[in-house]
Amino acid sequence: MIPRYSRPDMVAVWSPETKFRIWYEIEAHACDAMADLGVIPRENAEAVWKAKDVEFDVARIDEIEAVTKHDVIAFLTHLAEHVGSDEARFVHQGMTSSDVLDTCFNVQLTRAADLLLEGMDKLLAALKKRALEHKDTVRVGRSHGIHAEPTTMGLTFARFYAEMDRGRARLVAAREEIATGAISGAVGTFANIDPRVEEHVCAQLGLNPEPISTQVIPRDRHAMFFATLGVIASSIENVAVEIRHMQRTEVLEGAEFFSMGQKGSSAMPHKKNPVLTENLTGLARLVRMSVIPAMENVALWHERDISHSSVERGIGPDATVTLDFALHRLAGVVDKMLIFPENMLENMNKFPGLVMSQRVLLALTQAGVSREDAYSMVQRNALKVWEERLDFRELLLADEEVVAALGEDGVNEKFDMGYHTKHVDTIFKRVFGA
């Protein structure tokens, strides 16, 4: 990804230097295990660790690969330049390239997942803080973009918290599923390498041995990992779209923080645009772009082909770097977001009392009016509010049929705002616990 949408810690996970360091550790740990088993001389295994502090020369490896046309062989050749040709002769004994490539890729994905979980925790903390802050801040709920019934801003933040918390649980599961390694040799039969080598290498790298690999680790694991990233990205967009709608001039119930010196438009100095959340919507699309290719990577020929390889070289860093950036950006947006309670009340009262229509409808049916008649009685008054901006309660009090069924006190009682917020505490306990 381009630096504009990247954070250094995640970029470092995917750097060539990190990759070659992981490749080296895989090979060195494998040599240790083979020496323990008596397969190779102990002194050769120990010699490999002479390179433990080496900064592998990426340019030199690329130079060798230009000749060999094989990245793993190029690295092994470069490693031998540091260790010594004779000392390094048992490196990669009984292994195949995918043992190194796949195990490394999964190490990188688990490290990426750990950084993503940190980002999710930061976002969850921001959402919880704002939910508690605005637990009782009343705003109108909308369905189809149209005023529906009262809710609270706290409930809006709380539902986003619950959604992100589910996403976090999915990511924990995806991390566990992807945290496998394979040192099983050609076509995965361990014909030329002992399974105990795989067990040792995986233990050293924080992975579990893949129960059965072919020449590659099964790609359904990766498909689930990237699908999880795609769902989290969609949840980010869900929050971003809500904030974008709240910031519209006609609504203005919330807005991104506008910093000192910030400019909204090159042409119109008055503009305060929701550029951060618009950007998040775009970044979510980029993350989701990785999901279908990851799923298409599951089907490989026989014990393997490399149709997945070029895909993963792109989607591995792109999806994780982008999602990492998006999580931290959204956490900042939520944390600094401006909330306008007065505008929320003003918007709700734009059509005075209209949001209480369902309560009146239910009261009429409970008073013995058929649902069809009750609906008609309420709607004929509600439409006058829409069309003429009249007060819904006053219209109901002037409607003889409504008053005959409910009485004036019965009508007035249906406009108590507390009726709609009486279970907010219950919902909060469900989301955040006691």
Half-sphere exposure of 242 (CA within 13 A, CB side): 19
In contact, 227 and 56? CB cutoff 8 Å: no
Closest alpha carbon to 45 in 197, 206, 202: 197
The residue assigned the tokens 């009090």 is 397
Neighbours of 248 (CB within 10 A): 11
Catalytic option among 70, 265, 370, 423? 265
Give Cβ neighbours of residue 137 (< 8 Å, ≥ 6 apart): 152, 153, 154, 339, 341, 344
Q: Which residue has the tokens 């959604």?
A: 163
| 144 among known catalytic residues | yes
Nearest to 294 by CA among 233, 229, 232: 229
Phi and psi at residue 89, to the nearest 5°: -70, -15
Is 95:183 a contact under the CB 8 Å cutoff? yes
Q: Is 80 exposed, middle or buried (0-12, 13-18, 19+ CB in 10 A)?
A: middle
Residue 297 has φ and ψ, to the nearest 5°, of: -75, -15
User: Is 265 one of the catalytic residues?
Assistant: yes
Under a CB-based contact definition with an 8 Å cutoff, are residues 274 and 199 in contact?
no
What are the tokens at 396? 């109901």
* Residue 138, both tokens: 């009343």
Q: Give 294's contacts (C-beta < 8 A, 6+ positions apart).
A: 219, 222, 223, 225, 226, 227, 311, 312, 315
Q: Tell me the C-alpha to C-alpha distance, in Å, between residue 248 and each of 242, 243, 274, 300.
A: 10, 9, 9, 48
Choice among 85, 143, 144, 270 that is catalytic: 144
Sign of the CA dihedral running 33, 29, 177, 95: negative
Separation CA 111–CA 107 (nearest Å): 6
SS3 157: helix
Q: Which residues pair with 152 in a beta bridge?
A: 138
Active site residues: 144, 265
